[in-house]
Amino acid sequence: MTFKEEIQRRRTFGIISHPDAGKTTLTEKLLLFGGAIHVAGAVKSNKIKKTATSDFMEIEKQRGISVATSVMGFNYNGYKVNILDTPGHQDFAEDTYRTLTAVDSVIIVIDGAKGVEAQTRKLMEVCRMRKTPVIVFINKLDRPGKDAFELLDEVEEELQIKVRPLAWPMGNGDQFKGVYNILEENLYLFSPNKQVLEDGIEISDINDPEIEEYVGKTSASSLREELELLEGVYPEFDKNEYLAGNLAPVFFGSALNNFGVRELLHAFLKIAPSPLPSKAEERVVDAYEDKFTGFVFKIHANMDPNHRNRLAFVKICSGHFKRNTNYLHIRQGKQMKFSSPTAFMAEKKSIIDEAFPGDIVGIPDSGNFKIGDTLTEGEILHYKGLPSFSPELFRYIENADPMKAKQLAKGVDQLMDEGVAQLFINQSNGRKIIGTVGVLQFEVIQHRLLHEYGASCRYEPINLYKACWITSDNKAELEDFKKRKTQYMAKDKHGRDVFLADSSYMLQMAQENFKDIRFYFTSEF
């Protein structure tokens, strides 16, 4: 296979949903098709049901499982499919946002009874920002749910994207009879509790009277009517609009019953983009360029608490990645080579010799990498698009064991590199502040500091509304601002100025009174 063909056959994507919509179930069915797993139930849901009070074992389990399922690769019909897992729990939303920077497209799973839910809306915002092509899968049609036209309107309105059904359901719940595949002009009839991978009944002509035999007159004629109606309402599917992130094709099915999943997969392989160009600060890098480049989008601590090794997940953006080859670690300005890069194929993690754009390789790391680090063959490049979001919850972190101050500092430092939370240092009192997007992170940090670094910490409350990064071209005004707000000024890990507003009023006043200062709510600018 040529280099070009290797790239063209890759599909790297993420599945996103509100918790419980069926992301794990759909992932599992896709893996079954790819032969990557052989039994249902092999993919563990990596979600945490309980919130703040969840016990630590659960957090540990969650971490272990998500290492294993962070990336799932399989071959299918000549394609190389890479599914990137995204945590559904909102406290881990940052992790999901970052993962979305490493995918070329996304499948959004929506529960047909619940419609568009909060987390779906938030994740879609990130996709919209990045113009990521999205496909919508409306799931759980075997359950009583909303009307299909109503669901399409809801998706269009709530997710602010044009939609185009490429499949059409016949009823839902008890009345769910099947799905008509508009792309392939086939009707698949539904029979509940079918064995995984077994096909439905296939009818290739919509006017075939056999349809009446299977589903009855009423259902048959309403299917024909609805198809006619939707051909009138929705313009023909325009693949370029989809690729530009302006139009979401919609499929229907039931992941649990493995119904509509194969159609989804086939359509996905056909229309979803192969590895796209990646934006670096310096220039846009095409996947087909022959020199290797890539960036770290995720760092995962090893499950084994006795070994503080971590795994850095590198997304290959261009060129041919090879084992034991020198690459330039841009931030550290040094050459590094990797003797045991791993990939995740068919249930197991194994060492690989090479990888191509679109692939994700795991690199064992003892502390060299941070999220966002770029690797190249020598060119100075910095990949963009790994934002830190302004955190919403804050606590002072204090050392609870004077004998272990060093361990604590090291632990905090490394956990921040992993992107678990953000650290700010208050400039007036020198105290360390941890900022997170969810309460769970505080527990995770405390637990991991103890178990992985032997350090204990204590939190103290701090009343903050928002932390935002500030810059200005007007140096005098910036200095004046910093002087007046001394108590509220902090530095982030990179030494950038951060303003800690204790109320929305305070923030608003600051924005009004200091017109030359820009306030940022994500750290990428």
- Binding region for GTP: 17-24, 85-89, 139-142
Q: Smallest distance, Å, CB 63 to ligand GDP?
A: 17
Stretch 256-285 residues interacting with ligand GDP (CB under 6 A): 256-257
Residue number with CB closer to ligand GDP (142 or 452):
142
- DSSP letter string over 126-148? HHHHHT--EEEEEE-TTS----H
Residue among 7, 16, 21, 386 that touches ligand GDP (CB under 6 A):
21
Instruction: Measure the CA–CA gap between 314 and 278, rounded to whole angstroms.
Output: 13
3-state secondary structure of 266: helix
Q: Smallest distance, Å, CB 43 to ligand GDP?
A: 9
3-state secondary structure of 156: helix
Residue among 20, 104, 443, 492 that touches ligand GDP (CB under 6 A):
20
Cβ atoms of 381 and 285 closer than 8 Å: yes
Q: Smallest distance, Å, CB 216 to ligand GDP?
A: 23
Mask: binding to ligand GDP, 52-91, rule CB under 6 A, as x and -? ------------------------------------x---
Q: Smallest distance, Å, CB 163 to ligand GDP?
A: 20
Tell me the window of 22-30, 148-156, 176-184, 286-294 that interacts with ligand GDP (CB under 6 A).
22-30
3-state secondary structure of 218: helix
Residue number with CB closer to ligand GDP (29 or 448):
29
Residue number with CB closer to ligand GDP (88 or 178):
88
Stretch 458-517 residues interacting with ligand GDP (CB under 6 A): none
Mask: binding to ligand GDP, 130-149, rule CB under 6 A, as x and -? ---------xx-xx------
Contacts for 262 with CB less than 8 Å, ≥ 6 apart? 33, 199
Cβ atoms of 188 and 149 closer than 8 Å: no
Residue number with CB closer to ligand GDP (26 or 272):
26
Q: Which residue has the tokens 């915002």?
A: 125
Among 98, 149, 143, which Cα is nearest to 419's?
98
Total interface residues for ligand GDP by CB under 6 A: 19
Binding to ligand GDP by residue 45, rule CB under 6 A?
yes
**E strand spans, 283-323:** 284-285, 293-301, 310-318, 321-322
Q: Smallest distance, Å, CB 261 to ligand GDP?
A: 9
Residue number with CB closer to ligand GDP (19 or 64):
19
Among 443, 361, 442, which Cα is nearest to 70's?
361
3-state secondary structure of 208: coil
Q: Smallest distance, Å, CB 169 to ligand GDP?
A: 12
Burial state string for 444-454 with b = 16 or more CB within 10 A and e = fewer than 16:
bbbbbbbebbe
The neighbouring-strand residues paired with 344 are 349
Contacts of residues 25-31 at CB distance under 8 Å and 24 or more positions apart, as own/partner, are 25/139, 25/255, 25/256, 26/107, 26/109, 26/137, 26/139, 26/255, 26/261, 27/69, 27/72, 27/83, 27/85, 29/196, 29/255, 29/258, 29/261, 30/81, 30/83, 30/261, 30/265, 31/72, 31/74, 31/83
Residue number with CB closer to ligand GDP (123 or 445):
123
Residue among 12, 17, 66, 105 that touches ligand GDP (CB under 6 A):
17
Q: Smallest distance, Å, CB 142 to ligand GDP?
A: 5
Q: Smallest distance, Å, CB 256 to ligand GDP?
A: 3
- Binding region for ligand GDP (CB under 6 A): 17, 19-25, 45, 47, 88, 139-140, 142-143, 254-257
